[in-house]
Amino acid sequence: MAENLKTLHRDIRRCRVCIEQPLRIALPHEPRPVAVLSPTARVAICGQAPGIRVHKSGVPFTDPSGDRLREWMGISSEVFYDAARIAIVPMGFCFPGYDKNGGDLPPRRECRQTWHDRVFAAMPQLELKLVIGGAAFAYHLGRDAAKSVTNTVVDWERYFNGEHLSDGETEQSACRVIPLPHPSWRNNAWLKKNPWFEKDLLPVLRKTIQAMV
């Protein structure tokens, strides 16, 4: 039986696992879990982890990446932040800190291990996941994810049409998926190198999202 979503969300907001029981080095700052769970949303945005701006605001995608993602989806901020319509479940709920080069560290593994199976079991109504980046591909697509982000996104139609699913998939695991690159402006070169993304994938993404929200 799925957990109560309100209770689960409350427990996530109070989570301190990565400080009190870290798998490796503890989180270098106070946790501030950021996620949007919903009993009614048909669409879930499944990304990587909050950046420093989101850590400070406590609101997901309050940064240039969020602006671009909303543009890709073709929706307003009002729709994007309507929890009745869109859930937001990153692979790491807290900003993971910086690596030695000043880039964001990968999502904390504690989140996936502690929360993710429970979260998605508690939202069986989901019909579409926008899966963003390598860590999210590994969880939501499993062994079927390609070895690179590019190869996974190139194969987006197969995931969207459910062709990667086996006959034994459950209803929840059969939720449609659209894999996306990270909407960071650091990916401008990737977008320029892959014009098919804007030409072929984005029109389908926008049409699908607008019909669902």
Query: Distance from CA of residue 71 to its chain's centroid?
Result: 16
Q: Are 103 and 59 in contact (CB under 8 A)?
A: no
Note the pLDDT of residue 1. 55
Query: What is residue 3's predicted lDDT score, i.e. its pLDDT?
Result: 82
Write the pLDDT tens digit of every residue in 28-82: 999 999 999 999 999 999 999 999 999 999 999 999 999 999 999 999 999 999 9
The rounded distance, in Å, linking the Cα atoms of 211 and 43 is: 11
Q: Provide the b/e sequence for 89-114 (b: ≥16 CB within 10 Å).
A: bbbbbbbbeeeeeeebbebbbbbbeb
The angle formed by the CA atoms of residues 50, 134 and 185, to the nearest 5 degrees, is 55
Query: For residue 142, what pLDDT is reported?
Result: 84
- Parts of the chain with a pLDDT under 50: 170-172
User: Token pair of 116, please?
Assistant: 């993710």
pLDDT, residue 166, reads: 59
pLDDT given for residue 169 in this prediction: 52
What are the domain boundaries of the chain?
Answer: 5-212
Q: For 32, list phi and psi in degrees, rounded to 5.
A: -145, 80
160-163: list long-range contacts, CB under 8 Å, 24+ apart. 160/204
Contact 156, 201 (CB under 8 A): yes
CA angle 173, 178, 184 (to 5 degrees): 125
CATH architecture of the domain 5-212 equals 3-Layer(aba) Sandwich (3.40)
